[in-house]
Amino acid sequence: MILAYAILTLIVLALLLRRDLSAIGRQAYRGGLWTIFLIFCLFLLQIGLVVYGSGQSRLQNSLLILSQVALFGLVLINYHLPGTKLFALGLALNIIVMVANGGWMPVTPETHQYVHQNATIELYSRSAGSKNVVLPRAETNLWVLSDVIRIPLPWRRTAVSVGDILLLVGIAQFIFQTTSKGNNGAPNLSW
């Protein structure tokens, strides 16, 4: 959910800086606008699985990982766009740590307590409304790639992974390089 807030903030910032947001629609997307539609649908699927799905079923795990892999594929076919390399790397890191830990993003009990100050912590359970599963650090595979970066926001606390940071930087690069006044909507092939 923090990524959604961050994307909205980047879009508002781009508007305040009088960037040409219409240039995003003029980019040469491989797969056409269907690609953007599919990416949007995959995000909706993931939100539905995380926010409205409870428990830790195999179906949820499979759909979440498959949607992440499909998103990765859609991003890869559009590698020519600004920010996609960083976005793909962040997504790959998140997929790797999730698969290594049973399909959910691991978070330590301490970090879970930091984010959900008044919540009861149950080890090995999924945190309500998130894709996190509470695992002790010693039992977390690839712990450094899990949600270990604690962020205090004015309205709530959250935790993100290194992959999430790369996703955000990739999205920022895409928005600001694509909407630069000198770009004129032409695809930017530079890294």
Does 190 map to a domain? no
Does 122 map to a domain? yes
For residue 152, give the 3-state DSSP assignment. strand
Average pLDDT value for residue range 112-139: 85
Residue 140 has φ and ψ, to the nearest 5°, of -95, 120
Task: Output the pLDDT for position 188.
Answer: 44
For residue 56, give its domain range.
2-178
Distances in Å between the Cα of 114 and the Cα atoms of 48, 109, 110, 117, 149 are 25, 9, 6, 6, 11
Average pLDDT value for residue range 53-63: 72
Tokens of 152: 């205090």
In this structure, the number of other CB atoms found within 10 A of the CB of residue 44 comes to 11
- Strands (E) located in 28-114: 105-107
How wide is the angle at C-alpha 169 spanned by C-alphas 165 and 175, nearest 5°?
145
Phi-psi region at 124: left, alpha or beta (left = phi > 0; alpha = psi -120 to 50): left
Q: How many domains does the chain have?
A: 1
How far apart (Å, rounded) are the C-alpha atoms in residues 104 and 167? Answer: 18
Does 113 map to a domain? yes
Does 191 map to a domain? no
Pairing of strands 149-152, 157-160: antiparallel
Task: Output the pLDDT for position 178.
Answer: 93
Task: Output the pLDDT for position 156.
Answer: 84
Does 186 map to a domain? no
Element housing 69 (H / E)? helix 58-76
Does 166 map to a domain? yes
Largest CA distance in the chain: 53
**Interval 70-101: pLDDT, tens:** 889 888 999 999 999 999 999 999 999 999 99
Does 30 map to a domain? yes
How far apart (Å, rounded) are the C-alpha atoms in residues 177 and 183? Answer: 8
- Is the pTM higher than 0.95? The answer reads no
Does 49 map to a domain? yes
